[in-house]
Amino acid sequence: MALLNDTSTQFSPWTDRSATPLIRFDGVTKRFGDFTAIDNLNLDIYPQEFFALLGPSGCGKTTMMRMLAGFETATEGEIWLNGAQIGDVPPNKRPVNMMFQSYALFPHLKVWDNIAFGLRRQGLPKNQIGPRVEEMLRLTRLEKFASRRPDQISGGQRQRVALARALAKAPKLLLLDEPLAALDKKLRQDTQFELMDIQERTGTTFVIVTHDQEEAMTVASRIAVMDHGKLVQVDTPDRIYEAPLSTYVADFIGDVNLVEGTVTAIDGESCTVAFAEGQPALNVISETRVEMGQRVFLALRPEKVCVGATAEKNTQNALTGTVTDIAYTGNVSTFHVTLASGHVIKAQASNGRRLSRRTINWNDRIVLSWTDTAGVLLKK
């Protein structure tokens, strides 16, 4: 992919054909009565990945995770872990641990005993349990709270206890079910970095389920976007954001302008798209193969559209419109610009200077401009 950075030196086992996956979903289908939760799904997850399953509620992401943990069995297809089929292995015999959304800390046990629970069930000798628990307490910065009960610590601390308990047995695979949903925003952001740090230090493969796209983008090495039991796109966060394969993915991740139009000229990778009468055709360079006369969508991120009295230098597209809405969120301002054709285009400008007069106001006539590589052409 020429438009994005070369990733060959980075961690990317999914591009290496000789790499063996840790998890393989092979034609997996899961039905609950008439309802198909997972529909003929194929997916490889590699060792040491931080893999995110992302989608709206009811898309099947939690079912996939529960199949990995062993709480659900696939109706059809096979699930492989580390080269062995795990369909018939009960949850208490799998080298997989899970961090539950509700944390599911044992309320009658102290933090220390919560973390030691799995080690004791494993039958580890006492003189090995102690050091291992201490290690987990240090890793999650919980040393001071070892003798507290779960109802005597804060939400953020409980989240870390749940993580420590799940990691204590050094599982090959750690499943995280909406691990940060119960935390407030500030704590959630800090915890995301902590999770990444712990994942890197322990070298464990993490699979996280979330409906928060920002969270998935932050932590994951790859994201699987799901809808109605199917994988819509599996890719790295930057590819998901900058090169979505469908309007569903483009719309689900972040903010986007979707302009529907018809291809009127093709010259190699560049083409022009007419979208409304009286408006200039749009120039796009896109790797998507299109044909003359085809209906396509241009997906254009608001932050890639410049607003100003005139078009920016070196941009290949320029449209004139009226500012109908301004959303100021501190770091950025989002302008809703209505074109003569009735289309509303969102454009974002970062507020780089603290003391500056606002130069664009409601009802101003302004020019939107962007380059021919700013957007992506989508067929569906």
Q: Which residues bind another protein (CB under 8 A)?
A: 69-71, 90-93, 96-98, 100-104, 106-108, 117-118, 121-122, 150-151, 153-155, 158, 165-166, 169, 182
CB of 298 to another protein, least distance (A): 43
Q: Which residue has the tokens 């925003």?
A: 185
CB of 180 to another protein, least distance (A): 13
Sign, CA torsion 302/267/3/291: positive
Taking the least distance from each CB to another protein, the nearer of 69 and 282 is 69
> Quick one: tokens of 223?
């994201």
CB of 186 to another protein, least distance (A): 16
CB of 112 to another protein, least distance (A): 15
Q: Is 367 helix (H, G, I), strand (E, B) or coil?
A: strand
Closest CA to 234 of 358, 17, 49: 49
The phi and psi torsions of 55 (rounded to 5 degrees) equal: 175, 165
Taking the least distance from each CB to another protein, the nearer of 128 and 341 is 128
| Rg from Cα positions in the chain | 25
Specify whether the CB–CB gap between 307 and 360 falls below 8 A.
Answer: yes
The phi and psi torsions of 197 (rounded to 5 degrees) equal: -60, -45
Taking the least distance from each CB to another protein, the nearer of 53 and 225 is 53
Q: Which residue has the tokens 């285009």?
A: 345
Taking the least distance from each CB to another protein, the nearer of 91 and 130 is 91
For 197-222, letters b (16+ CB in 10 Å) and e give: ebbeeeebbbbbbbbebebbbbbbbb
Taking the least distance from each CB to another protein, the nearer of 66 and 346 is 66
- The Cβ of residue 374 has, within 10 Å, a number of other Cβ atoms equal to 21
CB of 184 to another protein, least distance (A): 10
Taking the least distance from each CB to another protein, the nearer of 33 and 293 is 33
> Quick one: tokens of 74?
């696939």
Closest CA to 219 of 246, 242, 241, 200: 200
CB of 61 to another protein, least distance (A): 17
Strand partners, 340: none
Taking the least distance from each CB to another protein, the nearer of 164 and 232 is 164
Taking the least distance from each CB to another protein, the nearer of 70 and 261 is 70
Closest CA to 30 of 90, 71, 81: 71
CB of 106 to another protein, least distance (A): 6
CB of 182 to another protein, least distance (A): 6
CA dihedral 167, 172, 175, 176 (to 10 degrees): 40
